[in-house]
Structure 1
Amino acid sequence: MPATARAQPRFGRLNVRQRLFVTTLGLLVLCAGALVSVVLWSFERFYLASAGADLGARTHAIAQTAGDLLEQGDLVRLRVLVERYGAPEDIALRVIAPDGRLLATSQHEPAENAIVWPAVPGMAEALAGRAVTGIAPGLIDVQDRIYHAVPIVRGDRQLGVVRMSRSLAQLQAHTRATVVTVLAALAVILVVGAGFVAWFARGLARPIQQMRDFAVALGRGEFGTRLAIARPDELGELAAELNRMAERLAALEGERRSFLANASHELRTPVSNLHVTLQALDGGAGDDPELRTRFVRTAVDETTRLRTLIQDLLDLGHLEAGATRLECVDTSLRAVLERATRAIEGRALDRRVSLVLDLDEELTVCIDPERIAQALLCVLDNALKFSPRGGVIEVVARRHGGRVEIVVRDQGPGIAAADRPHVFEQFYTADPARRRGGSGLGLAIARRIVDAHGGTIHVDTAPSRGAALVITLPLAASYQG
């Protein structure tokens, strides 16, 4: 198996903290290594350039004096000049005639007599009249040396060549010392950097690990836990948002539990009543025609109640899931209100409750007429349940800017201030006096239908008697102008 294939799973087993440490330390080593390489390369280039410039200046100065001595034919003084300026151990100074003969040298090595000087590096260029600088192995030893060769010219005559070279052993020693110093500094930097990277990785990975544990706890249903991460960065903002999400999940879980408990209770009541009624009929109550008729009516009523509750639960589920598709069209508001009031007119007459519809102008709204009629029927049904015999239910519609406001007002016992924020919740039972039949889902369904239309529904706090529910809906776009 290739090494990369084995390394990948091994790296994949590292946790976030270890990955941060390895990655950041690797980047630190890479950057430090690149910086050290550039520094050492720049140091070597600078030293070579400086050495070349110094060697060139000295060679040109010696070439001027050597030219004067060659014009005079004074080879003795030329050799003295060469020995004086070539005295340092790392310097080699020679003067070569145009025909390749060695005229003067600072080395005095027997091997110099066997050297073919025109073939020495730099000599061909200098004999051709060009000064040249370069690096080549030494002529006597194998050490690298930097050299500078200068032609000696007087007028149109070339009198010879001055070639001075200097050993690079000192440069190489300085380079080695510099490398050792820089590597030691790099090691210190890496040790300190590794400590800083470890601290940084631990500080960055800790909140991530806490969030992971927090998410696992939420997955187990532990909605009471909270993250204690206070940071002024994105991780702090994420932790705060996760805490808010946990609060919302806890609230939703509470609503779910309450809904299931209430739904179970509401379903159990008609089923129990129906079961008792059927048991009574099976036990002989059906032999009495009057009793049989009453029990059958009770069974029909409980079946109707159960069917209504189930339908309301289905409608509410579809609305909350967003599965209900609205078919909004420009619709006459009067037609929808009249349709909703006609639907409860029979029950209102039975209770001697009057229905009053008040529209001061013809209004057109952009709605799904079926759904808005359902919402209005839920609100009217709620008003009818709490209206006294001989009472009045008013339905008033008025235009307010680009919206229409519909107020349904009854003359019942009203809604307590503490209960008003909760009347649109499912199965709300804070005030048992207002639970007079029905599924307890009507206002919850009405609110979701109105919300889906971009409208609002709330309890009006102004009436001193009875309850008033206010629905606002957008007018049709063509009607707003």
Structure 2
Amino acid sequence: MKQSLLKKMLLYFSAVLLLFSLAIGIVFSLLFARHSQEVHQEEMQKRAMALAAAIPAMEEATKILQAEDERYTAAGSQPTEMVPGRRHGHHGRMMMHQGWCRRQYSEPNDNAAAFFQQLNELGEGDVWLVSAGSRMIRSYGAEKEDILTDLPPEAEELIADVLQGEAAQSRAFSPLLGTPAITVAAPIYQNGQISGAVLLHHPLKNMEEAQWQGIRLLGLSLLLALLLTAALALILARHFTRPLLRMQQTARAFASGDLTARTGIRQQDEIGQLAADLDTLGAELEQSRTERQDFLTAISHELRTPLTVLRGTLELLWQDLTSTPEQKSRCQKQAMSSLTTLERLVGDLLELTRLQNPGFTLHIEKLNVTEAFQDAIRQVQIIAAAKQIEIAADFSAPMLIEGDYGRLRQLLVILLDNAVKFSPEKTAITVEQQLLPTGWQVSVTDQGCGIPPEELPHIFDRFHSRQGRENRQGTGLGLAIAQEIAQHHGLQLTCESELGQGSKFIIRAE
């Protein structure tokens, strides 16, 4: 059981952590990629603007570009057809198309090629210069021939925007570069006028490599965190299941008959409460077993005495050992008395068992308990008259309750019968009513011998009976039955007594 629960907890923890890690990884990857591109584009834009600001200050570069413009203008300022691969001296290869001409400088000894190569190094990418006046695009070609046909519409828009003085960025030049790339553009100002623009291209694969490095670092971090968390989850799961294992062992001890076993768990949570309930269950089971053993011992003792007397009497009669009719009559009376005691004992046992049965139901009705108690007094007065005992009752107000009329009458009969039994002749028993702020109480007071203090806590136990001439025929179950009836009605039955001063039984309803 423990291993299964432990595995389930680890599985749940791992699943939650894995899903959380995947969610974090996906969100981080998207945000990191977007942030990386934004940062990279900002850096590219800054480099492009720095190059655009620095180029007019380079006198040598300006002379080279002006010379190239003059050469292009001399060759024809508005080219309308494409002449692929047409060479113009040692300066490079010229491709003309629909109003734009791109020139690539590739020979290392060429001053223009060296200049563009330096621009690429400063810009950390592929730098193109766009001339507004001659409509030329110049770049370092690295001895690579690249013939253009038409610029993509988005590329045309980017060049138009930057020549209007707006910094721009786009990915429209990717087909021309042969790889996915980002292009940023910055205008070149000379004498307050826009003379051209700087186009800085950077392949996306370089940014993707940086992004993958970040993602790999995140993945390793998440994997390490997952392993550490799994180890911590294992420790926590063991800490969680350890009390459950102890409770399981305690329950198995109960099943094997060891009701003294306890969990020993002291936690201020649901598991601690469950362990406390299990310990309480063990204590109650142990108490029930002790009570059952005491009950069997007591009932065996109570049955043995009348059965022994009855057997001895019957043996005398069977063996005809009685010599006179008086002895025979005395034996018959003794046998009848023993049978009466057995009958009363068995009846009380059945009554108590019935009351303690969880399925026992009362005939509940709304009634005035005063009527039931007055009926009980009339029933006991016949017994009290034999000892010349007066029962004085004072019921000045009705006492309404929902209960069983017969059982409530039986409750007071038991208390009155007990009071008559232990009261001397020619005394009085007082039944007094008292109304309380939240209910009422009825007390039965006698002038008997009282109850010793050490016996007072046990008078409602089964088979607890006082020894003496007054209680020769008592079964020790009367007060236990009375307590059960009181509890079934939600009443409190208590006793106050002093040895030699009489006893007072109190029925309280709140």
Q: Report the TM-score range of the alignment, normalised by the length of the smaller protein.
A: 0.7 to 0.9
What amino acid is aligned across from residue 218 of structure 2 in structure 1?
V
Residues 126, 161 of structure 1: 8 Å contact kept: no
What amino acid is aligned across from residue 149 of structure 2 in structure 1?
V
State how far apart, in whole Å, the 1-side matches of 2:136 and 2:313 are.
Answer: 137
The 3-state SS of whatever aligns with 1:30 is helix
Offset of residue 446 of structure 1: 0.9
Q: Which deviates the most, 189-198 or 131-140?
A: 131-140
The 3-state SS of whatever aligns with 1:371 is helix
Residues 369, 405 of structure 2: 8 Å contact kept: no
Residues 395, 406 of structure 1: 8 Å contact kept: yes
Q: Which residue of 1 aligns with 2:38?
A: 49
Residues 445, 505 of structure 2: 8 Å contact kept: yes
Q: Tell me the C-alpha RMSD between the 2 structures.
A: 4.1
> Is 1:174 equivalent to 2:174 in the alignment?
no
Match runs of 1:356-375 below 5 Å: 356-359=391-394, 361-366=396-401, 367-375=403-411
> Is 1:126 equivalent to 2:152 in the alignment?
no
Q: Which residue of 1 aligns with 2:237?
A: 201
Q: Which deviates the most, 163-172 or 130-139?
A: 130-139
1:212-267, Cα deviation, whole Å (9 max, x unpaired): 21122223332211222233444334333432332233222222222232233334
Match runs of 1:418-437 below 5 Å: 418-429=454-465, 431-433=466-468, 435-437=471-473
State how far apart, in whole Å, the 1-side matches of 2:172 and 2:453 are.
Answer: 99
State how far apart, in whole Å, the 1-side matches of 2:488 and 2:471 are.
Answer: 26
Offset of residue 422 of structure 1: 1.0
Match runs of 1:333-352 below 5 Å: 333=370, 335-350=371-386, 352=387
Offset of residue 83 of structure 1: 4.8
Pick from 486, 489, 495: which aligns with 1:450? 486
1:12-35, Cα deviation, whole Å (9 max, x unpaired): 994223322332233233323433
- In 2 relative to 1, CA 389–254 (structure 1 residues): closer, same or farther, beyond 3 Å? same
> Is 1:354 equivalent to 2:389 in the alignment?
yes
The 3-state SS of whatever aligns with 2:442 is strand
Pick from 11, 17, 24: which aligns with 2:13? 24
Q: Which of these two proteins has the greater Rg computed from alpha carbons?
A: 2
Match runs of 1:324-335 below 5 Å: 324-331=361-368, 333=370, 335=371
Match runs of 1:240-259 below 5 Å: 240-259=276-295
Offset of residue 443 of structure 1: 0.5
1:152-189, Cα deviation, whole Å (9 max, x unpaired): 999xxx99886431123443333343344333333432
State how far apart, in whole Å, the 1-side matches of 2:50 and 2:374 are.
Answer: 118
The 3-state SS of whatever aligns with 1:388 is coil
- In 2 relative to 1, CA 51–416 (structure 1 residues): closer, same or farther, beyond 3 Å? same
Q: Which residue of 2 aligns with 1:116?
A: 149
State how far apart, in whole Å, the 1-side matches of 2:186 and 2:151 are.
Answer: 13
Offset of residue 424 of structure 1: 0.8
The 3-state SS of whatever aligns with 2:502 is coil
Identity rate, percent: 25
User: For structure 2, which runs of at least 5 residues remain unmatched after alignment?
Assistant: 70-102, 106-111, 163-167
Q: Which residue of 2 aligns with 1:7?
A: none
**Matched length:** 454
- In 2 relative to 1, CA 107–326 (structure 1 residues): closer, same or farther, beyond 3 Å? farther
State how far apart, in whole Å, the 1-side matches of 2:157 and 2:368 are.
Answer: 102
Q: Which residue of 2 aligns with 1:145?
A: 181
State how far apart, in whole Å, the 1-side matches of 2:144 and 2:398 are.
Answer: 123
What amino acid is aligned across from residue 256 of structure 1 in structure 2?
R
Match runs of 1:394-473 below 5 Å: 394-429=430-465, 431-433=466-468, 435-461=471-497, 464-473=500-509
Residues 127, 151 of structure 1: 8 Å contact kept: no
State how far apart, in whole Å, the 1-side matches of 2:187 and 2:149 are.
Answer: 17
- In 2 relative to 1, CA 261–324 (structure 1 residues): closer, same or farther, beyond 3 Å? farther
Offset of residue 378 of structure 1: 1.0
Offset of residue 340 of structure 1: 1.9
Match runs of 1:382-393 below 5 Å: 382-393=418-429
1:64-100, Cα deviation, whole Å (9 max, x unpaired): 8999999x993637985755433459512235689x9
State how far apart, in whole Å, the 2-side matches of 1:466 and 1:58 are.
Answer: 111
1:392-422, Cα deviation, whole Å (9 max, x unpaired): 4333333344543333233332101111111
- In 2 relative to 1, CA 418–270 (structure 1 residues): closer, same or farther, beyond 3 Å? same
The 3-state SS of whatever aligns with 1:212 is helix
Q: Which residue of 2 aligns with 1:5?
A: none
Q: Which residue of 1 aligns with 2:140?
A: 106
Offset of residue 206 of structure 1: 0.7
Offset of residue 347 of structure 1: 3.2
Match runs of 1:280-359 below 5 Å: 280-284=316-320, 290-322=326-358, 323-331=360-368, 333=370, 335-350=371-386, 352-359=387-394
TM-score, normalised with respect to structure 2: 0.75
State how far apart, in whole Å, the 2-side matches of 1:56 and 1:18 are.
Answer: 55
State how far apart, in whole Å, the 2-side matches of 1:149 and 1:25 are.
Answer: 49
The 3-state SS of whatever aligns with 1:74 is helix
The 3-state SS of whatever aligns with 2:262 is coil
- In 2 relative to 1, CA 179–76 (structure 1 residues): closer, same or farther, beyond 3 Å? same
